[in-house]
């Protein structure tokens, strides 16, 4: 008998629903929230309201895309933490109500664990299944709120062995973009302009942080001073050099990330290396991971593009492993903004 799971993700500014059958993703519907653009960042109250508006049509479409009926469902999963509390509450309440109404188990999922497991979502190219990482593997999880190196021993057993002490990698991209006058979220725009630029043109500093931890706040300050100095000399400096500036910033962020990942690979002896999270959509990081992988003989894995940024398919695959382990939640489970692993 097949196991059908409906999963809901609402931790930040994307409302998403996905249906999986025996770990195979049948649908993955994502509704973004353009309302935040004019404010230069996510406004929590507006995010909660947009989730309220989106959640029914998004779930409805995910069910229809999957060709699935409510009575087919064996469990309902949702993102419990971490995230914006008002946003999480919308998905949690919806999932609880549905689990109660259908009398099927509820599965609470950790958003960061789900980003890691996005690497295990079955995908195929030209009818052939893509290779997936073997355990243990390392995952560099880079998003708007987190930057972590995770040692993953099995689907439900993983631990953070390095993380940022200040800004996340996504924030480093977004804040750099803001300094350059680009709209939010600036990460994808830096990526776009960087494609035309010379990454060696401007040298930004690499912080000396011991161990496997990261720091990005110094980079942000260095970029700010660099631009202040140069625009004082030439007010059109950014306009004339945008591609080279973006390429140089991206190059620095990517090398900070990969140098730590390399250190983690050496320390653990692990050769299967993945990336995950919104910043893993970055073309510079994707290409550099492949290049470094060839150089250091790693087996590298990158989730399909639609599974990198926030999505419910990653919640669904995590829930599928939890279902198999009998790891269900009670209806009184509460979402939390922060969550230890």
Part of the chain binding Zn ion (CB under 5 A), chosen from 119-127, 133-141, 162-170, 303-311: 303-311
Residue 173 binds which one of ligand KG4, Zn ion, none, with CB within 5 to 8 A depending on kind? ligand KG4
Within positions 212 to 271, which residues make up the interface with Zn ion, using CB under 5 A? none
Cα distance between residue 270 and residue 297, in whole Å: 11
Q: Which residues bind ligand KG4 (CB under 6 A)?
A: 12, 143-145, 170, 173-174, 185, 187-188, 191, 277-279, 281-282, 309-310
DSSP strands (E only) in 147-226: 147-154, 157-163
Compute the least distance from the CB of residue 90 to ligand KG4, in Å.
16
Cα distance between residue 117 and residue 290, in whole Å: 19
The tokens describing 300, both together, are 């590298």
Task: Check: CB of residue 258 under 8 Å from CB of residue 212.
Answer: no
Task: Check: CB of residue 31 under 8 Å from CB of residue 15.
Answer: yes
Compute the least distance from the CB of residue 69 to ligand KG4, in Å.
30
Residue 187 binds which one of Zn ion, ligand KG4, none, with CB within 5 to 8 A depending on kind? ligand KG4
Compute the least distance from the CB of residue 170 to ligand KG4, in Å.
3
Classify residue 271 by burial, with Cβ atoms within 10 Å: 0-12, 13-18, 19+: middle
Give 167 or 310: the residue with its C-beta nearer to Zn ion: 310
Give 47 or 265: the residue with its C-beta nearer to ligand KG4: 47
310 binds Zn ion (CB under 5 A): yes
Helix or strand (DSSP H, E) at 4:
strand 4-9
Give 143 or 329: the residue with its C-beta nearer to Zn ion: 143
Residue 253 binds which one of Zn ion, ligand KG4, none, with CB within 5 to 8 A depending on kind? none
Compute the least distance from the CB of residue 256 to ligand KG4, in Å.
13
Phi, psi of 260 (to 5 degrees): -70, -35
The tokens describing 52, both together, are 């309220």
Can you say whether the dihedral through the CA atoms of 13, 55, 82, 206 is positive or negative? negative
Compute the least distance from the CB of residue 134 to ligand KG4, in Å.
24
Give the residue closest to ligand KG4 by C-beta: 278
Site string for Zn ion, 142-181 (x = CB under 5 A): -x--------------------------------------
Task: Check: CB of residue 117 under 8 Å from CB of residue 80.
Answer: no
Cα distance between residue 285 and residue 258, in whole Å: 8
14 binds Zn ion (CB under 5 A): no
Task: Quickly list DSSP for 163-212.
Answer: EBSSS-HHHHHHHHHHHTTPPSS-HHHHHHHHTTS-TTSS-PPPP---TT
Annotation-wise, does 36 bind a ligand?
no
Match 């730590």 to its residue by tokens. 260
Q: Helices 169-179 and 217-233 sit at what angle, rounded to 10 degrees?
A: 20
Compute the least distance from the CB of residue 281 to ligand KG4, in Å.
4
Give me the residues that bind Zn ion (CB under 5 A), please. Answer: 143, 310
- Residues tagged in the binding site annotation for Fe cation: 111, 115, 310
- Residues tagged in the binding site annotation for substrate: 141-145, 174, 187, 191, 282
């Amino acid at each position: 008998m097949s196991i059908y799971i409906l999963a809901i993700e609402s931790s930040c500014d994307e409302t998403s629903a996905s249906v999986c059958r025996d770990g195979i993703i049948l649908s993955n519907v994502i509704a973004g929230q353009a309302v935040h653009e004019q404010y230069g960042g996510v406004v929590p109250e507006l995010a909660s309201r947009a989730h309220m508006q989106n959640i029914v049509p998004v779930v409805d479409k995910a069910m229809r895309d999957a060709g699935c009926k409510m009575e087919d469902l064996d469990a309902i999963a949702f993102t419990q933490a971490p995230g914006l509390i008002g946003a999480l509450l919308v998905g949690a309440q919806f999932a609880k109500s549905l689990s109660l109404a259908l009398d099927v188990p509820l599965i609470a999922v950790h958003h960061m664990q789900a980003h890691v497991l996005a690497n295990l979502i079955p995908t195929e190219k030209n009818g052939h299944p893509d290779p997936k990482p073997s355990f243990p593997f390392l995952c560099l999880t880079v998003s708007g709120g987190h930057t972590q190196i995770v040692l993953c021993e099995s689907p439900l057993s993983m631990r953070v062995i390095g993380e940022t002490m200040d800004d996340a990698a996504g924030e480093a991209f977004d804040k750099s973009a803001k300094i350059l006058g680009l709209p939010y979220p600036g990460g994808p725009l830096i990526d776009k302009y960087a494609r035309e630029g010379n990454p060696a043109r401007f040298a930004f500093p690499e912080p000396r942080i011991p161990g496997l931890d990261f720091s990005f706040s110094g980079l942000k300050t260095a970029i700010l001073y660099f631009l202040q100095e140069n625009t004082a000399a030439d007010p059109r400096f950014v306009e004339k050099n945008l591609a080279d500036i973006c390429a140089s910033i991206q190059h620095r962020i990517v090398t900070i990330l990969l140098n730590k990942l390399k250190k983690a690979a050496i320390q653990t002896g692990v050769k299967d290396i993945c990336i995950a999270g919104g910043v893993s959509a970055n073309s510079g990081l994707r290409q550099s991971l492949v290049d470094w992988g060839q150089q250091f003989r790693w087996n590298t894995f990158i989730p399909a593009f639609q599974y990198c940024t926030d999505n419910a398919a990653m919640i669904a695959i995590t829930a599928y492993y939890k279902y198999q382990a009998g790891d269900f939640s009670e209806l009184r489970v509460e979402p939390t903004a922060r969550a230890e692993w």
